[in-house]
Amino acid sequence: MEALKLLKNILISARPKQWIKNSVVFAPAFLGGEILNLGALPKLVEAFVVFSLLSSCAYLINDVRDREKDRRHPTKKKRPIASGNLSPLVAVLTAVLVGAATLFYTGANFNQYFLAGTVTFLLLQLSYTFLIRDIIIMDALWVAAAFVVRVYSGAFVLPTPLSAWAVLSVIGLSLLLAFGKRRSERTLLYKLHKKLSTRQTLRQYPDALLDSMISMSASYSALSYSIFAFQTSPQGGLSFSFLPATLASPKWIMLTIPVVFYGLARYLFVIYEKKEGESPEKVLLTDLPLLLTISLWLAALFAIIYVI
C-alpha cells in the first residue's frame, strides 16, 4: 500500500494534465500533411512521451524548490511535496533517474537534432525554475521559447518543413497563455485576500502591463495565423471554374481564421470574466465552448489538408 501511495504522489507531482502542452510536437507533421504517413504517427507519439517525461522531471524539481511558497498558496498547498506527502529527496531522485533514462532513450532512438531539442528544452525548464521565473517579462518569453523548441523538435522527428508563420503563431499563443496565467493568478490571490508572496514576479507585474501584453499577444497570434493561413493553403484540390479568377482557387485554410479569432476571444473571456486562466491546461479541457472551438478548428484543418 505504501508503494502505491508513493507512486500516486509521484504521478500527481508529475502533472499529467499539463502534458497537453507537448501535443504541439504533432503540429509540423499535421500541418505538413504527413501525419498519416506510414510510421510517422508512432514516432511522433514517442516524441510526445519523451517531452512529457522531461516536463514531469522539471515539475518535480520545481515543486521541491517551491514547497515553502506553495504552502502559502490556496491551491498549490495541496500538492504532494508542499503538503508533506512526498519527500523532496524522493522527488529529486525520481526526476534525475527518469530524466537521465529519457535522454538516453532519446539518444538511442532519435536523430541528433531531436536530441538537441530535448536537451535544450530541459535546460530551458531548469533555468526557468532556478533563475528566469523571477525576472519580469523574461519569464513569459522563456515559456514561449519552450513551446518553440517543442515545435521544432516535432519537425525534426521525420523531418518536416516548418512554416515560419506557424512558429510565430505558436509564440503569440504561448505568450498569451503565460501572461493570461499571471493575470489570473493575481486576480485569484486578490479575491482570496492573499498576499502576492507565492510568486515573486506577481508583485512586479502591474495589472495594466499584463492587460497590454495579453492584448498584444492575442493580436500577434491572430495576425500571424492569418498570414500562415494565406501563405500555406494547399494548392490544387477543389476549384470552381465558373467563378471569377479571384475566387476560382480559394485559400481554403483561410476559412479557419474566424474560428481562431473566436477561440482567442473566448480565452480572453475566460481570463477576464470567468477568471479561470490560472491553469491554461484545465481551461482547454473544461471550458466547453473553447473545447468545441479547438475541435472544430482541428477537424476543419484535417478536412482541408487531408481530404480537399
Domain ranges of the chain: 1-162, 168-234+245-308
- Please give the average pLDDT of every successive group of 10 residues along the chain, which has 308 residues: 85 91 94 87 95 95 88 80 89 95 96 96 94 89 94 93 92 92 77 55 81 94 94 63 61 91 93 75 84 95 88
pLDDT at residue 278, as a whole number: 67
pLDDT at residue 90, as a whole number: 92
3-state secondary structure the chain: CHHHHHHHHHHHHCCHHHHHHHHHHHHHHHHCCCCCCCCHHHHHHHHHHHHHHHHHHHHHHHHHHCHHHHCCCCCHHHCHHHHCCCCHHHHHHHHHHHHHHHHHHHHHHCCHHHHHHHHHHHHHHHHHHHCHHHCCCHHHHHHHHHHHHHHHHHHHHCCCCCCHHHHHHHHHHHHHHHHHHHHHHHHHHHHCCCCCCCCHHHHHCCHHHHHHHHHHHHHHHHHHHHHHHHHHCCCCCCCCCCCCHHHHCCCHHHHHHHHHHHHHHHHHHHHHHHCCCCCHHHHHHHCHHHHHHHHHHHHHHHHHHHHC
pLDDT at residue 198, as a whole number: 55
Measured CA to CA, the distance from residue 126 to residue 301 in angstroms comes to 35
pLDDT at residue 154, as a whole number: 94
Neighbour count for residue 97 (Cβ, 10 Å) = 11
pLDDT at residue 232, as a whole number: 82
101 phi, psi to nearest 5 deg: -65, -40
pLDDT at residue 273, as a whole number: 84
Measured CA to CA, the distance from residue 224 to residue 196 in angstroms comes to 34
Cβ proximity of 105 and 95 under 8 Å:
no
Cβ proximity of 276 and 282 under 8 Å:
yes
Measured CA to CA, the distance from residue 222 to residue 241 in angstroms comes to 31
Measured CA to CA, the distance from residue 286 to residue 255 in angstroms comes to 26
pTM of the model: 0.88
Architecture, CATH, for domain 1-162: Orthogonal Bundle (1.10)
Q: Which residues contact 93 (CB under 8 A, 6 or more apart)?
A: none
* CA 254 vs CA 250, 251, 261, 304: distances in Å: 9, 6, 12, 10
Cell (9 digits) for 164: 515560419
